[in-house]
Structure 1
Amino acid sequence: MEKAVVNKAVKRRLILALLTCMLLSLLLAACGGGTEGASGGGGDTGSKILLYNNVREPTSLDPPIGFDQVSYDILNNAMEGMTRLGKDQSPEPAMASEWKVSEDGLQYTFTLRDGVQWSNGEPVKASDFEFAWKRMLDPKTASSAATLAYVFKGAEAFNSGKGTADDVQVKATDDKTLEVTLAQPAPWLLSMLANPAFFPVPQKTVESNPNWTAEADTFVSNGPFRISQWNHDSELKMVKNDKYWDAANVKLDGVTFKMINDSNTEYQLYQSGELHIAGVPADMSDQLFSEGKVNVQDSAGTYFYRFNTTMKPFDNAKIRKAFALAVDRQKIVDLVVKQKQKPAGGFVSYGLKEPDGRDFREVGGDLITFDAAQAKSLLAEGMKEAGYSTLPEVTLTYNTNDLHQKIAETLQAMFKENLGVDVKLAGKEGKVLTAEQKQLQLQFSRSSWLPDFADPINFLDIFESKSPNNRTGWSNAEYDKLIQAAYQETDEAKRYDLMHQAEKILMDEAPIMPMYFYDSAYLQSDKLVDVVRHPYGYMDFKWADLK
């Protein structure tokens, strides 16, 4: 009898314990529901999910189409090319295990790694690279990145409709071998092949579904992460790709790319732990810099405006130059942007070394400076040439973002003060602005250029007459001649001299108005380590970790 009583007591205690555990579990789930895990995870306590603001929806995750930072920062983590920029910014073997280069520098033979796979389990083949690069060059694709591939023999003819895909000297000789013949030596080729425009695409998938990049469940990748969820215009989630050849060195469980197009909101989310990285809001810049909380790292690229030289009054070079000279770039950097950037005295940014070791920008010097008196004089001359007694109405268009708006408003005030010109402002969503800019529908519009590889030619060749990246309507035969000569020149000192001559024409003719050179000023959680920010590339989370 006594034993029976004891058993009942034990059972009651066990039931109470189980109920207590269940209640605790429910409470923990309720507290954690919908939040990130202890290490920034996606709902699983302890999972390592990096939270990053991509600012806006990617333009496209089709490698030859995206061609902007908001697309390529994602692609650089979801996919991989023959090479990958390493932690020291040099190209390293990636999908390719090795390559051989002929003595004349015109022939490259790439060998793929054993067992590389797409995220759907299919093998990555050399033919996927051949297909991808020829697809980028196909005029039907209309890729803005296509001109980068003109270094391949036969590429320009195919892209311009004067040749065929078979003329392009890129050939998969078997599943693991890709042979490439160049039209001219390209010392930057291995760095350029790390650019997302040159990522392979899964031929079978692309041919069966032209919209394969539009949704998470159809997207196929071959990089450190794969896309698991995509809530358009809100966030895109990635998880570690267990089929990636170097998965053992990927420490994060995933990355969530949020899309927040306001720097103050971004900062608030960083403060609350909902982002691991944030930019520096201009109105808090002085405080955050003085507190030593801001990281500043070399970057590359130029913030600038494009004049539409096919629209009045900017079909007149003197009027364009007048607007460019009327801007005090140092004030904009110091009082508006406030992130320690350098004012742009040319188009090519700092960090590119001449053959003798000097910096290209320092050798070229300031080709455009603030000069209100000269600006007024040039405006008067230009108006006289064009027969204007009153300047036609001018509208400056910027893509909607609080910083771009502040800069535009500051420019508006400077044009009024220094030229006596009233300029209207118009904000447009980024994709719309880019599309209209390409169609030459905007008179005067905000832009930026992030180089695709570390060479001045990649800044300057975008303003060749035939370049789809020109977007100004400007054409100059002497400029085109200098760029083509630079491509053919094998003597590096002479090549750099040709590029300096070209940049001087660009600044004298002023189809663009450079503002400042980018750097990377950011806030980053102490928990996050080993993020690689490539000055001449894109954000790389392959080696990142959350402690």
Structure 2
Amino acid sequence: MKKWLTVLLGVLLVVALAACTADENAGEEDGSDNGEESSGEDTSTLRLNNGVEPTSLDPPIGFDAASWNVLNNLMEGMTRLSEEHEPEEATAENIEVSEDGTEYTFTIRDDAKWSNGDDVTAGDFEFAWKRLLDPETASSAAFLGYFIEGGEDFNNGEGSEDDVMVEAVDDKELHVTLTAPTNYFLNIISNPAFFPINQSVAEENDEWFSEADSFVGNGPFTLAEWEHDNEMLLEKNEEYWDADTVELEEVHFAMVDDSNTEYQMYDSGDLDNSEIPADMADELLDSEEVTIDDQAGNSFYRFNVEEEPFQNEKIRKAFAMAVNQEDIVNYVTKMGEEPAHGFVSPGFNDANGNDFREENGKLVEFDPEEAKQLLEEGMEEEGYDELPEVTLTYNTDDTNKAIAETIQEMYSENLDVDVSLENTEWNVFLEDQKALEHQLSRSSFLADYADPINFLESFTTDSSMNRTAWSNEEYDDLIAQAKEETDEEQRFEYMYEAEQILFDEMPIFPVHFYNQVFLQKDNVDGIVRHPVGYLELKWATKE
């Protein structure tokens, strides 16, 4: 049983004492090593593949793993996840919490600097956190700021910026008031969405984040070069307050969206790290160069409940129950993933020490006979003599394609339904999904912070992460109650009930939970892949 989240949440429960408490895509643009020599003899540059161009290096906008991989190493919040995945002081050298757990006072380090030499100030954090919540920013991550008093009303247009309880008391002290005690708040603010922004730089150039020569960060590395859709080069940031800890001089990110090409680059010495192509899993999984880490998240599909035929609950359930998750992980992805029969990942223990996933059980399972029956009943309810055409959309990636083709075959075999496939590039795919232009679409979720509520809050009616048009008032109420409940046993009961409702109505269906499987050269050490999806290079070395 995974224990890392249990340890993390235990640490967060004693946050009032603390000095040190506190989705996804890797493959979009065809690329190469651009003729550079093999890195086999180069011990100063770590060579990785980001898969795709970051969505954005503007912290509240780049809300996905492709952006986080870079952002988490260019910038830093008040807290940073440690090598043990626990939040600890970062830009903040001291954190005080009020007795009732609703007020936080952060003191910024005197030696916290921006890469251009400016001091990092409390005003930079106030500016950034309020910008995250500003409806004009239109950040998908804004919901993370709803824990802050006045944050939700401001984001929904029902309150003003002045009502958001984030205040720079002076240059080095930030005071924050929460709507309710939140034991995992210091974990939440380690998310890149809460990184500070150099206010003076941003006010002078509102596109400061879009090019290497204008980017200003406060993290372990700086952005030295950025050839869009091709490669990025990060260099050690000598202005970083903890620069003595950082041993790498450079990090080179390629952007190659094909896992076979990525592996070939790794095999030839042009990458120090690589995913394993699914068709080579049997050959490579036993390699001494393989590392396998936990990851809190899952691969799943969304129904658009406003699009025929998925306005019908029984038809949605039929399509969900016609998918054999075990076959997908055993014969398609083949990376030792766990089939998903619920949405919340394993690894979260409730107040009684029970794992959330085990306690709430299997909420959807492969059952082709019942799937056929449900499809017939749903079609009869809708008056369909023939099922409307169905298109399954996925973003360009060889694994995504393989899974989509397998599901297409399962629908043909188990439901006698022909489904069309459509693939688009990541940024186009994401915008269309947000606009509810997909009928049935591939998705993924990576936890933004270490608590089950983060998984479940995505499907409340007004969540920007919903992207299904599904709405359930009882579900919304349960999530709201869970966020305000201080009794842990009762809080988990609200979440158990909410997940049950989610699967009773089935606006989504899961495929598998994530893990992180990589090949890594034996002269590389210290790369930390946090279960919540942040790549950490602060402690990485290459000999």
Hey, what's the Cα distance between the residues in 2 that align with 1:92 and 1:49? 27
Match of 1:81 in 2: 77
- Measure how far apart 1:35 and its partner are: 2.3
Match of 2:537 in 1: 541
- Measure how far apart 1:293 and its partner are: 4.1
Matches within 5 A, 1:147-162: 147-162=143-158
- Measure how far apart 1:36 and its partner are: 5.4
Cα displacement string for residues 367-424 of structure 1 (whole angstroms, at most 9, x for unaligned residues) = 1100001101111111111111100000000101111101000000000000110000
Residue in structure 2 matching 1:213, options 200, 209, 213: 209
Residue in structure 2 matching 1:494, options 477, 490, 493: 490
**2:112 matches 1:116:** yes
Hey, what's the Cα distance between the residues in 2 that align with 1:460 and 1:38? 44
Residue in structure 2 matching 1:223, options 194, 201, 219: 219
Residue in structure 2 matching 1:60, options 56, 79, 101: 56
Hey, what's the Cα distance between the residues in 2 that align with 1:198 and 1:542? 18
The 8 Å contact of residues 453 and 537 in structure 1, kept in 2 or not, is answered as: no
Cα displacement string for residues 92-142 of structure 1 (whole angstroms, at most 9, x for unaligned residues) = 110000111011100000000012111111111000000000001000000
**Residues 248/290 of structure 1: CA separation in 2 closer, same or farther (3 Å cut):** closer
Match of 2:7 in 1: none
Q: TM-score, normalised by structure 2?
A: 0.93
Match of 1:252 in 2: 248
Match of 1:94 in 2: 90
The 8 Å contact of residues 39 and 546 in structure 1, kept in 2 or not, is answered as: no
Cα displacement string for residues 500-545 of structure 1 (whole angstroms, at most 9, x for unaligned residues) = 1000111111111110000011100001001111012401000000
Match of 2:179 in 1: 183
Match of 1:286 in 2: 282
Match of 1:417 in 2: 413
- Which protein is bigger by CA-based radius of gyration? 1
Amino acid at match of 2:506: A
Match of 2:14 in 1: none
Match of 1:311 in 2: 307
- Measure how far apart 1:38 and its partner are: 5.5
**Residues 36/112 of structure 1: CA separation in 2 closer, same or farther (3 Å cut):** farther
- Measure how far apart 1:308 and its partner are: 0.5
Hey, what's the Cα distance between the residues in 2 that align with 1:61 and 1:39? 31
Match of 1:6 in 2: none
Matches within 5 A, 1:4-403: 34-35=36-37, 39-40=41-42, 47-403=43-399
Amino acid at match of 2:256: I
Q: Gapped runs of 5+ residues in structure 1?
A: 1-32, 41-46
The 8 Å contact of residues 39 and 47 in structure 2, kept in 1 or not, is answered as: no
Amino acid at match of 2:219: G
**Residues 89/505 of structure 1: CA separation in 2 closer, same or farther (3 Å cut):** same
Hey, what's the Cα distance between the residues in 2 that align with 1:120 and 1:228? 12
- Measure how far apart 1:358 and its partner are: 1.9
Match of 2:13 in 1: none
The 8 Å contact of residues 39 and 49 in structure 1, kept in 2 or not, is answered as: no
Match of 1:12 in 2: none
**2:509 matches 1:516:** no
Q: TM-score, normalised by structure 1?
A: 0.92
Hey, what's the Cα distance between the residues in 2 that align with 1:431 and 1:37? 31
Match of 2:30 in 1: none
Higher relative CO (CA 8 A, sep ≥ 6), structure 1 or 2?
Answer: 2
**2:475 matches 1:479:** yes
Match of 2:23 in 1: none
Identity of aligned residues (%): 54
Hey, what's the Cα distance between the residues in 2 that align with 1:528 and 1:308? 44
Match of 2:444 in 1: 448
- SS of equivalent residue, structure 1 residue 445: strand
The 8 Å contact of residues 295 and 533 in structure 2, kept in 1 or not, is answered as: no
What is the RMSD of the two structures over their aligned residues, measured on CA atoms?
Answer: 1.2
Hey, what's the Cα distance between the residues in 2 that align with 1:144 and 1:479? 20
Aligned residues: 510
